[in-house]
Amino acid sequence: MIDILIIWLALFSAFVVRLGMQDFVNHKALFFQLCLLCPVICLPINIRMGLYRAVLRFVGPQVTLTILRATVLSVTGIILSTYVLGWAVPRSIPFLFGFILLFMLGISRYGARYWLAGHKLKDILLTPFSIAGKPDQVKRGKPVAIYGAGEAGCQLISALDRGWEFRPVVFLDDDSAMVGRTVYGRKVHHSSKLPELVEKAFVDQVLLAMPSLSESKRKSILRDLEALNIPVMTMPGMDDLVSGRLKIQDIKEVEIGDLLGRDPVQPDSQLLNQCIHGLNVMVTGAGGSIGSELCRQIARLECKSLVVFDHSEYNLYRIEQEIMQLKEHSGLSFNLVSVLGSVNDPRRLLDVISAYKVDTIYHAAAYKHVPIVEHNISQGVRNNIMGTLYAAQAAMVGKVANFVLISTDKAVRPTNVMGATKRFAEQVLQAFSTQEKVELMHAKMFGRQQHQFVENQTRFTMVRFGNVLGSSGSVIPLFREQIRSGGPVTVTHPEITRYFMTIPEAAQLVIQAGSMGAGGDVFLLDMGEPVKIADLAKHMIRLSGFLEKNNDNPEGDIEIQYTGLRPGEKLYEELLIGDNVSDTSHPLIYRAMEESTDWKILTQGIERILLSIESHDYDQARSIMVDFVSGFTPDSVLVDWLFLSSNQSTNIKKSDQLETAES
């Protein structure tokens, strides 16, 4: 109906422009004839061209071309029809009609689009100039600046224009060639103008649309944005966008890794493929942070089969579903096997290794949370020491070629049980690497006779690194949740520092380091510079658009509270026990030459530790680990829950006895 009115109005305008109002009266009969003819010709053409199938809320630039084609065909049809009918129509009127109709049809579509998106009439009329006007011209959504006027920025603004949550009002860019231009109706300003735009309340938030930017450049931009105390969000890398099409859901909070990350080093394809390509690979602890990323990267390296092994049913299900989707979307053809089991079940380990003829094992199964292990010493010992021991012995019995242990910087001069158990596990593998034949510990659990020797054909490698960003138990998700809740953000100590690395980078370096070892090697990953946790918390507060509340700024939004070091927690972490470290062929991987202990002596220590924890003598168990782990100096009293419970029971009994004696 609106298009019929537009056709009549365009026809009337063409007559008035061509003939004037006085002569128009003399041609009224012809005008009314054309008023009947033009809709009969134009509307079917519009229908055929799909103008009435388009959802007006989502029409884009392509609608202009469609309208142009429909108008050209309509004008051609009108000229031919009037010629056949013998009507004396001035030759310029059909062309004038066409130009006016094209303009009015286009205006009606774009006007409807903006009106349906919640704009008012004055906003629709002033859209190209909205940045120069008042900040409250459009009430819909948060006013945001798009940082990056390139292809990604255009995709982003096109998507945001169809939604309600964000209102893009301006582009920012560092490219002087782009400054001053207009892109998608928004003016491009230099990034240095952002403080002024924020101050005038034009912009409440910044969306970073530069996915292909180098890590160093991204870090520099975020440092500048951080000082403005407005929320900063980002879109993912182009590799993560499906077919280059953007969704609003793809916009996310800036990862703290963008501030701590570094430019990636090109991986060595030979090292990546050496222990994986065309081989049967198994990952223990496959549902964990590092284990799951190892699975993703191993899958992409075209292994023959991938065995994902985990004791958590939920974690196993989650990684299985993810790898199946990756396999389907990437057209990969490896065999995926998801196995529910514990590394403390030697028979289960050996059965899986033998059934699937495993060539390489990445042993990521471990308890890594320092305070939790400190409160549960027996389980830390069983999982981290015995689990590694059983997995390594199963690898030797099953003739696995490569065994890579995922270790931690907390194994270096540990102050906690978790770090001590991980260093003990390293020593087990170092001891195995020095022997051609190994006398199995608890051999009957592997279906072997006691004191039976097994030929060692397995190459054992250990890879040691620090914290990974976003892992389970990481401070990053905790800080983010605390910020969302309005604070306070809790930090244990103002001087506590940690090394950080992104999970994908850590997994990639683990795979490459695991291919380098000759046997018994301890590899260290270059973690970059250590980061103060307090500074990290401050960065996250500012990038979320809040001010830190402290003595200097009592009117701030979110306070940082220092809660004190937890049991076993160190202020600083290290990666090297001694001073003997050498370079490798990879610039971010180093080889450490560290002392090892004879296997027979280690077995004696392990048996003593097991006897201690079976009798709940956790103080004795910790003392034995002090003897075997170089530099292990517990810095807290014993806090194991069962130890505390038994002490509490003893104290209650003593109190009861005292009361009886007094009575």
Q: Residues with catalytic annotation? A: 410
The span from the CA of 505 to the CA of 123, in Å, is: 47
CA 270 to chain centre: 27
Residue/partner pairs of 191-200 with CB below 8 Å, 24 or more apart: 191/147, 191/221, 191/224, 194/145, 194/225, 194/228, 195/228, 197/145, 197/170, 198/228, 198/230, 200/135
The one-letter amino acid code at 312 reads S
Task: Indicate the SS3 state at residue 171.
Answer: strand
- Asked if 377 contacts 622 with a C-beta cutoff of 8 angstroms, the reply is yes
Angle at 483 between CA 479 and CA 489, to 5 degrees: 55
CA nearest neighbour of 274 among 563, 493, 62, 514: 514
Q: In this structure, are strands 581-583 and 589-592 parallel, antiparallel, or unpaired?
A: antiparallel
The sign of the torsion formed by the CA atoms of 436, 437, 438, 440 equals positive
Place of tokens 């696995």: 400
- Asked if 383 contacts 546 with a C-beta cutoff of 8 angstroms, the reply is no
Q: Is 486 left (phi over 0), alpha (psi -120 to 50) or beta?
A: left
Q: 227 CB contacts (<8 Å, ≥6 apart)?
A: 542
Per-residue DSSP letters for 7-65? HHHHHHHHHHHHHHHHHHHHTHHHHHHHHHHHHHHHHHHHHHHTTTTS-GGG--THHHH
Task: Indicate the SS3 state at residue 183.
Answer: strand
The H or E element containing residue 281 is strand 280-284
The span from the CA of 407 to the CA of 384, in Å, is: 10
The span from the CA of 662 to the CA of 72, in Å, is: 111
Task: Indicate the SS3 state at residue 408.
Answer: strand
Task: Indicate the SS3 state at residue 151.
Answer: helix
CA 56 to chain centre: 35
**Helix (H) and strand (E) counts for the chain?**
23, 25
Q: In b/e form, how buried is each residue of 516-546, taking b as 16+ CB within 10 angstroms? A: bbeebbbbbbbbeebbebbebbbbbbbbbbb
DSSP structural state of residue 551: S
The sign of the torsion formed by the CA atoms of 341, 343, 347, 351 equals positive
